[in-house]
Structure 1
Amino acid sequence: MKANVGTAALLLSACLCGARMLDASSTRTRAQSPILQLRGGQSADDEAVRAECIKKLNSFPMFCVVNSENNVVGLPNDKGGYDVTWYVDLEEAREILNVMIASSDVEDPGFKLSCTPLGNAFMICAGLTEHKSEEHGPQYLLKPARSVLTAEVEATLRAQLQQRGMADENTGWLLPVFLHDEFQTDALMPIFFSAAGFTQGWINAGRPVDEAPQQPLMMDIRMLMLAMQQDSAMRSKAQPVPSREAYQAAKELQV
């Protein structure tokens, strides 16, 4: 998927170009890359920037299934462990909840729907907290809506991550986000989690439907995180936008 060249596109290009330079540079230079800095050894300024980015992501709810003790529970995977998953799509999370209840050996397993702020879930799933995915242990995953992660989208996102030197790191999951330079103000750049959501947001903002960009810029959320870290304007303006249903459900679940 392509987009016209603008601020957001240039930020993504800068991230990718930086990766190519790092791949050809010394070990010392690689250790100073923003992605690797996420894993420790940050300066106070780096920590503050990351905290600001996570706070921005935390305005978006991710849905999950928890037990009676409010611990997130997962489903068995083919590696002998469990996939502990946070879902963008509210209905998909409800489907998984029903599957877990139906397959439980006890009459009332105590499973229920819950939500976690995206920034916190990202920290867990990207391995930036004490929660680490092991081969036969829990795999922590962020999951977009089924209709979003097509083969074409997956190939595009993996190519982006590979160019950034992240092909073999934290790629057990992909979470695309969508944005466009023509859909922003001086103070706000809305971030959507599907192309359809982007178009609906455009319409909700009162813009003519026939003028909606047909190919919004798409990137994995790791690339968005990197762009936000590298550019203060992007960090200030980026605003994840949940659907009205997701926003309302999150409010009810947090009561």
Structure 2
Amino acid sequence: MQKLNSVPTFCILNGDSNIVGMQDPEGEGEVCCWFTDADDAMGMLASARESNPDVPLLHLGVTPLGLAFALAMGWAESHFVGNLRLQGQSSTVEATKEAVAQQVVAQGLELGTWTLPVFCCDELSSSTVTPVFLNRHDLVQAWVASGRPRETVPDNLSIMDLRVLVHQMQTDAFAWSTIHFVGSPKSVALVHKAKAEAALVKRILAGEVCLAGVPDADAPPPLTDDEPPPLE
């Protein structure tokens, strides 16, 4: 799980830093999602604030992907009563869910209620590192950053569900020590914003900041979709 923890995920928290569940769009009961995509996370936060004006101080929490994966798989204990899911980039999940679901079943793994596709390609790999991306866009950005023309990105990228990859990483079939999960630059930027907002929530609860002085009148300033800083 340690390798997965290099990538952040985001969930919605209340002022007490407890996970906020949402109505399951695919069934009854509540669901808790950890988002790997920054835009999806910010969109869900905005929707939650709009739908719950009586719940102050809703904000994003940051959870390493390895821990979020363990929680969603039921490998780690959670006090949340409801369905626990990992939510990949929504458009990518929608486009790949049937193919990766077949992979999960073929491996004899439980399909569950979510899929999380990951991407890699041989051309970006070497004997010492095999980068794994959570969406095609980030892979393309890495391809261009390596000096290759965008139009030469291979059509036959390797795509698999994260559960399948983790399952295979527990075997001796490959030099898994070379696997490196690559987070999106936008997610890296959102981590800093989310942590700053969480600190503001604590100051408000401690009485150090007047809630009336916060621009939204009943919530910390919303996160904005700024251009992320470049990765070093």
- TM-score w.r.t. structure 1 length? 0.70
Cα distance, 1:196 vs structure 2: 2.2
Asked if structure 2 preserves the Cα contact closer than 8 Å seen for 1:88 and 1:144, the reply is yes
Match of 2:52 among 81, 100, 104: 104
Match of 1:143 among 80, 87, 91: 87
Cα distance, 1:75 vs structure 2: 0.7
Letter in 2 for 1:125: A
| Larger RCO (CA under 8 A, 6+ residues apart) | 1
1:63-212 aligned at under 5 Å gives the runs 63-77=10-24, 79-106=27-54, 109-131=56-78, 137-151=81-95, 153-166=96-109, 169-212=110-153
Q: Distance in 1 between matches of 2:23 and 2:133?
A: 30
- TM-score w.r.t. structure 2 length? 0.77
1:177-216 deviation per Cα after TM superposition (whole angstroms, max 9, x unaligned): 0011221122111111112221111112222323321221
How much identity, in percent, do the aligned residues show? 30
Corresponding residue number in structure 2 for 1:253: 194
Deviation >6 Å, runs of 4+? none
Cα distance, 1:132 vs structure 2: 8.5
Q: Alignment partner of 1:122: what SS?
A: helix
Letter in 2 for 1:124: L
Corresponding residue number in structure 1 for 2:181: 240
CA RMSD of aligned residues (A): 2.0
Asked if structure 2 preserves the Cα contact closer than 8 Å seen for 1:127 and 1:170, the reply is no
Q: Which runs of 5+ in 2 are unaligned?
A: 197-232
Q: Alignment partner of 1:130: what SS?
A: coil
Cα distance, 1:145 vs structure 2: 1.2
- Corresponding pairs, count: 195
Asked if structure 2 preserves the Cα contact closer than 8 Å seen for 1:65 and 1:111, the reply is yes
Asked if structure 1 preserves the Cα contact closer than 8 Å seen for 2:10 and 2:63, the reply is yes
CA separation of 1:132 and 1:165: change in aligned 2, threshold 3 A: farther
Letter in 2 for 1:210: E
Q: Distance in 1 between matches of 2:192 and 2:131?
A: 20
1:124-155 deviation per Cα after TM superposition (whole angstroms, max 9, x unaligned): 0011122398xxx411011111210235x111
CA separation of 1:231 and 1:204: change in aligned 2, threshold 3 A: farther
